[in-house]
Structure 1
């Protein structure tokens, strides 16, 4: 029996909605953001996302079911990465849309630069010289995995 046009549309939209289901959690979006930086072991993802190993595994399972991430095993370690560059592009697009359309997000982002007069642009050499002289303190807030290598 052939499907009607309506039934075909329903099937198509149901499949596309799998992506929506996969990204409906703020923690899953954070995991995508972390994986945009490169492949990471599941333990590091849990640590950087501030959630338990059990919870990160559940979130990664949902992302895997939508074919947004994939895993590989190396010994006892499981590493995750984005399946295709389009997942990173999707993250950038949805984040840009949120920044453009959501006033609450815009307000939170604006708080980060609330006192621009207190910020002084300077090059690496000047910053390091000032740090050596004790004029400034350099605080690196990146996850350890980003600067360890």
Structure 2
């Protein structure tokens, strides 16, 4: 009885592991962590079919990693809690620490040879620079993600608008860009574009999901 009960308990724990056992489901979690989304919007962002996207979301829902709400004919998916965001970040950290191919794949995806290719600043350095007026923080995610939650004081300039809106940024301060997470290429591309145009730029060493996990304040916009 004791062994059966223990295995039953572990099987329930394993539901979470099973739900995380797909790169596509991790991608869905990454997108949902930015803001609540519908099945159709997630399908469009990931390039998956509607039925495939829905099937992946049902696995996440059965593991209680996401919640849903209905608005008229649309169903919106959101993370079940900040602990889910923490788990997602931890999975990435463990994989990078223990699987050499994971780190190589990360660097290849980001288009860097190592983490020194693009200057990074941590949370404490960012806050110090902003407080002294030495930096402006730019959120390069799409506007809807910025509106759902962003670093206080950050301005929204989506990456695809950055080149034509660069004049909106003060010319004599450092620009610190951030995006969805530590492994998001948007901030790296933004820093490269800024530097190509003669601007001083760096990226935050993590993104919005890590900021959320750290417990720092988050602002929203209408």
Answer yes or no: same fold by TM over 0.5: yes
Q: Which has the higher strand share?
A: 2
- Counterpart among 11, 16, 21 of residue 18 in structure 2: 21
Aligned partners of 1:118, 1:24: CA distance in 2, in Å?
A: 31
RMSD (Å) for aligned C-alpha atoms:
3.0
Residue 66 (1) aligns with residue 63 (2): yes
Equivalents in 2 of 1:43, 1:14: separation in Å?
A: 31
1:5–1:52 CA distance, 2 compared to 1 (3 A): same
Alpha-carbon distance in 2 for matches of 1:21, 1:110:
26
What's the counterpart of residue 112 of structure 2? 113
Question: Which structure 2 residues correspond to residues 1-149 of structure 1 after superposition, within 5 A?
Answer: 4-111=1-108, 112-114=111-113, 128=166, 135=197
Please say which of residues 41-50 and 86-95 is displaced more in the overlay. 41-50
Structure 1 portions without partners, runs of 5+:
137-148
1:101 and 1:39, CA in 2 relative to 1: closer, same or farther beyond 3 A? same
Greater Rg, structure 1 or structure 2?
1
After superposition, the C-alpha distances for 1:21-62 in whole angstroms (9 at most, x for unaligned) are: 211111111111111112112111111111011111011111
TM-score (norm 1): 0.74
The number of residues matched between the two structures is: 132
